[in-house]
Amino acid sequence: MRKSYHKIIGYLLMGVALLIPIYCFGQMVYQSLSKESHYQAYQASLPKKISLARDKKIASYNHKLNQEQNIVDPFLGEAYHVQYGILDNPDAIYGYLAIPSLNLLEPVYLGADDRHMILGLAHVDGTALPSYAKTQRTVIAGHRGYPIKVFFRYINRLRQGDMLYFNDGKETFSYQMIQSEIIFPSEWEKLTPQKGQNLLTLITCDPIPTYNKRLLVHFKQVKKSQNQKFSEKTKEEARDKDPILRALRTTKSKVSARFWFFVTIVVISAIGFVLVLYRLVRYCLA
């Protein structure tokens, strides 16, 4: 029986088409399932005591911030790189940000340049690093989503009172959402510190897909929550007492349906790929 190369090519194209959702959505599912283990690995990699020198560098950075902030829009695609002088490796993870109601747990890097924002979230230079100061604003940037990563895709679902946690390797800072707003890229005055308030603002592009505006979600720092060290305790005990892991486990997620939707797509696509491969093999062997 003479084989039709057109039919074989058709099967191959169908297989490739099915591999795309398997890879993209499979990556999202994997990241959702592995985020806690990555966070725990980060915690385990930290020295037993964060150096006093690093604390002084953070305090110095915050102290030197000009009241008239010079912020670069991280979404304009301009190539730039900031030297904070805080970490030995400028591309190392500075901390982790968690939003339990979105089941979000992402690493945070210093400097919102392209490579950092592909890897995770990024601190925007010209704004304060998290601390317990009475007046400051921290700004964290994140993409609205990549083909294989979610990032800030669902932060428009946040509502007043939702919690956010930021762990810098030494302490866990707790914040509560107070409001959100949409601005033009030129309205940087919206990110200036407010006297007597310790704020953290998330910034991302909006709307999808034009991305010509910026969505800001503002959080206010709440009661101090110190990070715990559990080097001599079991992993389960550490999980129970780490404020981020505890919050992720006990807070009802607003996006859990999306996770199962992604799983369903992966499973259906995988079944389809196996069937196409089976048909291709049968056709070639016939």
- Which residues 6+ apart lie within 8 Å of 132 measured at CB? 173, 198, 221, 224
Q: Tell me the average pLDDT across 233-257.
A: 78
Q: Tell me the average pLDDT across 219-246.
A: 65
| 69 has pLDDT over 80 | no
Give first-to-last CA distance, the chain, whole Å: 7
- Which residues 6+ apart lie within 8 Å of 57 measured at CB? 84, 85, 86
Q: Which residues are catalytically annotated?
A: 143, 205
Considering only residues 84 and 178, tell me which one the structure prediction assigns the higher pLDDT: 178
pTM of structure: 0.87
Give the pair of three-digit tokens for residue 277: 């491969």
| 101 has pLDDT over 70 | yes
| 279 has pLDDT over 80 | yes
Question: How many angstroms from the chain centroid is the CA of residue 175?
Answer: 16
The lowest-confidence range among 25-34, 162-171, 226-235 is 226-235
Beta strands in the chain (DSSP E): 95-99, 104-110, 121-123, 136-141, 163-167, 172-183, 198-206, 213-221
The lowest-confidence range among 172-181, 214-223, 231-240 is 231-240
| 145 has pLDDT over 60 | yes
Q: Tell me the average pLDDT across 61-67.
A: 79
CB 215 within 8 A of CB 75: no
Average predicted confidence (pLDDT) for the chain: 89
Q: Tell me the average pLDDT across 205-216.
A: 92
Residue 67 to residue 246: CA distance in whole angstroms: 37
| 251 has pLDDT over 50 | yes
The lowest-confidence range among 36-50, 137-151, 216-230 is 216-230
Q: Which fold has domain 51-255?
A: Sortase; Chain: A; (2.40.260)
Question: How many angstroms from the chain centroid is the CA of residue 224?
Answer: 23
Residue 102 to residue 256: CA distance in whole angstroms: 8
CA distances from 226 to 129, 173, 242, 281 (A): 16, 7, 9, 59
With CA atoms as reference, report the closest residue to 213 among 175, 186, 189: 186
| 162 has pLDDT over 80 | yes
